[in-house]
């Protein structure tokens, strides 16, 4: 638009200068013509020459006025075109600025909405993470408590089993000692009974105990078995 207005202004100035040049050339031509006419008719009188010169001046002035008027009109037209172009450019600039402002505002709103959405999602994720962390801590605490209780129960059960094992071992040891004592008592009773039997046989046969030792060795070995005859007057020890 500004280039078009400048071109119109330049063209108007050029045409105005051309009109002025033509007017000056015609004025010179008229002056020359008048001068020649004046020279030709000088003999006819100065009045005719003055009249021609005056006419030439009037024509030159008319041409100059016409040229100035046309130049002014062209300049005014060029300025009007330039003003209209500037107004159109300004209107376009304002429209572009409004459009850009609207697009910027829309972009700002979209960015603000997106930022709010991202902030909300991040906040939700953080809260969810905190909740998971709290739940994990609670579950870990519960697991630790459960493990501690199980450990204590296992320790108590182990102590109980150890105590039971000690009691059972002591009972077995006592039972073993009792059985050994009972066996020793039976063997002593059998030995005493055999000694009594030998003494009785020696008295009945009139043979000494030395004679009975050779003949009764085999017989004396039998009652020493746990299943041999019971000692008279003695019962088996209570189990």
* Per-residue pLDDT at 48: 63
* Per-residue pLDDT at 229: 40
Is 210 within the bounds of a domain?
yes
DSSP-assigned letters across all residues of 1-45: -HHHHHHHHHHHHHHHHHHHHHHHHHHHHHHHHHHHHHHHHGGG-
CA distance 22 to 16: 10
Is 139 within the bounds of a domain?
no
pTM of the prediction?
0.29
Identify the three-state secondary structure at position 229: coil
Which two structure tokens, joined as six digits, stand for 72? Answer: 């002014």
Is 143 within the bounds of a domain?
no
Domain boundary among 55, 87, 103: 103
Range of the domain at 216: 185-221
- Whether residues 98 and 189 share a domain: the answer is no
Domain boundary among 103, 120, 136: 103
Q: What pLDDT, in 10s, does the model give residues 97-142? A: 888 888 888 888 888 888 888 888 888 888 888 888 888 888 888 8
Is 199 within the bounds of a domain?
yes
Percent of the chain with pLDDT over 70: 77
* Per-residue pLDDT at 1: 61
How many separate domains does the chain show?
A: 2
CA distance 156 to 148: 12
**Residue scoring higher pLDDT (11 or 87):** 87
Is 141 within the bounds of a domain?
no
- Residue that has been written with the tokens 């010169």 in this structure: 53
Domain boundary among 60, 83, 103: 103
Least confident of 35-39, 89-93, 178-182: 35-39
Is 43 within the bounds of a domain?
yes
Is 171 within the bounds of a domain?
no
Q: What pLDDT, in 10s, does the model give residues 45-79? A: 566 657 767 787 888 788 888 878 887 888 888 78
Is 197 within the bounds of a domain?
yes
């Amino acid at each position: 638009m500004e280039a078009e207005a400048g071109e119109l202004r330049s063209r108007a100035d050029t045409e105005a200068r051309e009109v002025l040049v033509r007017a000056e050339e015609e004025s010179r031509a008229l002056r020359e013509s008048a001068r020649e006419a004046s020279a030709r008719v000088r003999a006819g009188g100065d009045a005719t020459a003055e009249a021609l010169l005056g006419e030439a001046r009037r024509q030159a002035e008319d041409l100059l006025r016409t040229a100035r008027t046309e130049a002014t009109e062209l300049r005014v037209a060029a300025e009007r075109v330039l003003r209209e172009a500037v107004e159109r450019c300004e209107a376009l600039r304002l429209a572009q600025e409004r459009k850009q402002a609207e697009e910027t505002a829309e972009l700002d709103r979209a960015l603000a909405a997106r930022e709010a959405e991202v902030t909300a999602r991040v906040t939700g994720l953080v809260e969810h993470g905190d909740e998971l962390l709290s739940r994990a801590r609670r579950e870990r605490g519960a697991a630790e408590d459960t493990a501690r209780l199980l450990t204590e129960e296992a320790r108590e059960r182990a102590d109980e089993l150890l105590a039971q094992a000690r009691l059972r071992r002591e009972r077995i040891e006592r039972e073993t000692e009792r059985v050994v004592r009972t066996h020793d008592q039976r063997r002593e009773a059998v030995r005493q009974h055999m000694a009594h039997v030998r003494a009785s046989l020696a008295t009945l046969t009139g043979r000494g105990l030395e004679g009975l030792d050779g003949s009764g060795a085999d017989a004396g070995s039998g009652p020493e078995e746990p299943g041999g005859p019971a000692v008279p007057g003695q019962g088996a020890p209570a189990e």
